[in-house]
Amino acid sequence: MSGTLYIVAAPSGAGKTSLTRALLGRERGIELSVSYTSRAPRPGEVDGVHYHFVSRAEFEAMIARGEFFEHAVVHGDLKGTARAPVERTLAQGRDVLLEIDWQGARQVRAKLVCTVSIFILPPSRPELERRLRARGSDSEQVIRRRLADARRDLEHAAEFDYIVVNDDFAAALAELCAIMDCRRQGREAPKQSHAQLLAELLGSV
């Protein structure tokens, strides 16, 4: 039996990376797909662990060779998922977790049926901005750009199978684990639309 591809997307600052790291620490039989990016590493990031860091020219050459499962321009940088490792892991019956944006998620869903897509929402616009500033690694210009890009990300939240609000970290993590547990048991987890929160976020971002 083939594995399941879990897609997790969110606007920057929603806590996607922290949640997925915690999920990987709790769940067995799932592997994180390490994406490629054309941007430079941030302080503390390790090549091959956080991303595969390559030049823009090398990334574009990989696109030309058809080596990506999906790729997109995110915040001005190229990001993508290599096709071969994902397909190989799924064929071996293990699950794969992709941390990608809505553009990449759309590409993947069009190519594979064995996907479960999850969108992470912040609890409010002020909290989203606070989290972005708490990183301490981005300039004011980058922060403003990420806040502006958040609207486009949020506009596509309804395309995903599940929406999880990262207000209380433990509760959000438990919800992610429950979605995965239900999938492995062959049933569908309960869904919440969070339509009111999404409308508020779109009105304020």
pLDDT in tens, 6-34: 999 999 889 998 999 999 999 989 999 99
Mean of pLDDT values over 116-140: 87
Residues in CB range of 27: below 8 A, 6 or more apart: 177, 180
91-125 pLDDT, tens digit each:
999 999 999 889 889 999 988 888 999 999 999 98
Provide the terminal-to-terminal Cα distance of the chain, rounded to the nearest Å: 43
Per-residue pLDDT at 148: 83
Per-residue pLDDT at 138: 76
Per-residue pLDDT at 140: 84
C-beta separation of 129 from 164 below 8 A: no
Answer yes or no: CATH 3.40.980.10 is held by domain 5-33+94-204: no
Residues in CB range of 82: below 8 A, 6 or more apart: 33, 36, 52, 62, 67, 68, 69
CA distance 18 to 7: 15
Given a cut of 80, is residue 1 above it in pLDDT? no
Please state the pTM of the whole predicted model.
0.87
Locate the domains of the chain by residue range: 5-33+94-204
Mean of pLDDT values over 54-66: 97
Per-residue pLDDT at 205: 56
Question: Between 4 and 103, whose confidence is greater?
Answer: 4
Instruction: Tell me what the pLDDT averaged over the chain comes to.
Output: 91
**Pick from 115-124, 133-142, 180-189: least confident:** 133-142
Per-position b or e across 71-106, b if 16+ CB within 10 A of its CB: bbebeeebbbbbeeebeebbeeeebbbbbbbbbbbb
Q: What order of strands is seen across the sheet that includes strand 115-121?
A: 30-32, 95-99, 5-9, 115-121, 162-165
C-beta separation of 6 from 97 below 8 A: yes
Mean of pLDDT values over 21-48: 93
Given a cut of 60, is residue 135 above it in pLDDT? yes
How many Cβ atoms are within 10 Å of 60's Cβ, its own excluded? 14
